[in-house]
A and B are shown apart, each in its own frame.
Chain A
Amino acid sequence: MFEMNDMTVRFAIGEALRGASLRVAPGDRIGIVGESGSGKSMLAACLMGMVPDAATLSGTLTIDGTDMTQASEAAWQAIRARRAAMIFQEPMTALNPLRRVGDTVAEPMRVHLGMRKAQARDRVATLFDEVGIPDPAARLRMFPHELSGGQRQRVLIALALACDPELLIADEPTTALDANVALKITDLLVHLSRSRNMALVFISHDLAAVARATTEIAVMYGGDIVERGPTADVLADPVHPYSQGLLAARPDLRAFPRDADGSRRRLPTIPGTVPPLHAMARGCRFSGRCPVERNACASVKPAPVGPRQATCHALSRGVA
């Protein structure tokens, strides 16, 4: 299906993605977790051939055996929407304000699948129904500004599904939405993945949403995939120091833990901040913030180790 091997995205100032490998099979639901600057959006862009022109790529990306690494824009246009589709973070600005949403969703169907206007319109109505938009016939005549954020996101999902892709990449689909709407959208994506046997790559920094939506998860930091594995396992028992720090930082509303002397426990944080791209270490990118850091960590890039493919020197030594 979609296979990415050792993909590196290099800019003049640094590498936004380093040696990333990912395999997506039909029906998979994979989560990609990390903070801003972790390279998760760049990973997604690779899967769609939408990496900025200024970047150089190395590594390989094959789609059903076809090497797409150096593919032309025209070749990617055949893949996009038909094999792989993507929805982005900001539904409020992602739709052409001058077009009715029905026409926007119909466009790829008419361009790629050669559908006629009436035929496309019917299919749009069906799609709207599938993504949970009430009163589809009326909605498809509306302009984006007449719809709420949640409805626009559903329209964008419908747009992504227009040509029945095998893979749907959702890049922070719920970040800009209200909590309850976010929940519904997350569930919708899972439902669509199941009913269509469509692979879902769910990118988010919202751990709860990822937990809900995915069966496998990859944790990213500074352009590296630092740990991967079954979602439940990784979230319950992370092995990489970064994942541990990330998961320890989740506020737990169900309990208000107190220390032995009765004082409230502070929310743990990872000290320091993510360095800018040009200041990233050549070795392990988490160096400088890692609680179990060694001397070699900053200069030597750690190789993936163990069942979780964790990139950590301390782990390969059997410590931590």
Chain B
Amino acid sequence: MRPLPANFIIGAALVAVVIGVAAVSLIWTPHDPADLDIRGKFGDPSAINWLGTDQLGRDVVSQLMAAARTSMAVALGAVMLGGSVGVGLGLLASAIGGWVEDSVMRLADLGFAFPALLFAIMLAAVFGPSLTNAVLAIAFINIPVFARVARAAANQIWTREYVLAARAAGMSKLAITRDHILPNIAAAVIVQATIEFAVAILAEAALSYLGLGAQPPASSWGRMLSEAQTLMYLAPELAVYPGLCIVIAVLGFGLLGDGLRDITDPRLARAR
């Protein structure tokens, strides 16, 4: 057995921590994140408030934990939504081929022209800013990525001998897609999904920072940062913690995705 690559192990550890914290926050946080205590504002780290309190006296640690929940939820939603649509499109393009494939891929390329931010801006301008809009915007930019990956992987499987045999035996393309193509592209899709998870966390943070994502009272690392920015001269450390959390989460999923890719496709001639 080859040893697991370092990035996989580190990534998995970081991811476990983040998901663990988010899960725990569902049932327990040191304090209620929304609990105000104006007189206790800007408190120093203590046994009660492990990282101190913010400008409204809220416990920082509890806020960070609740924000982890938001991050995970948004990323999960966006990746599942964008992923399923994207993979569906990719499989469709690959199965039918020809001009359908070309037009689907062209459509997907359109998605590349649109940064998530622009899409979120449009939705926010029309519907008002909300977390749902953020999820939709991030899902939207995931679609072309998954479509490309799914199509490329599926194209490789269609030419394999057992698929050719199945087609000769009269199996429908739908059945083949379900039984043969899908299981075989699962690895590539999962790797991409992990990486897109990292992208989604970053995107949600950016959107929340700009006010286009999580609205109060929902916690978000991005929103915490934007609030902290106005208080830079008073409590600079408040600007450090949420950012650190974002980095840990994004790094974790990114490394995990890289590690998964190394494991599932070691043939890839990548310059390590």
Q: Do chains A and B touch in the complex (CB under 8 A)?
A: no
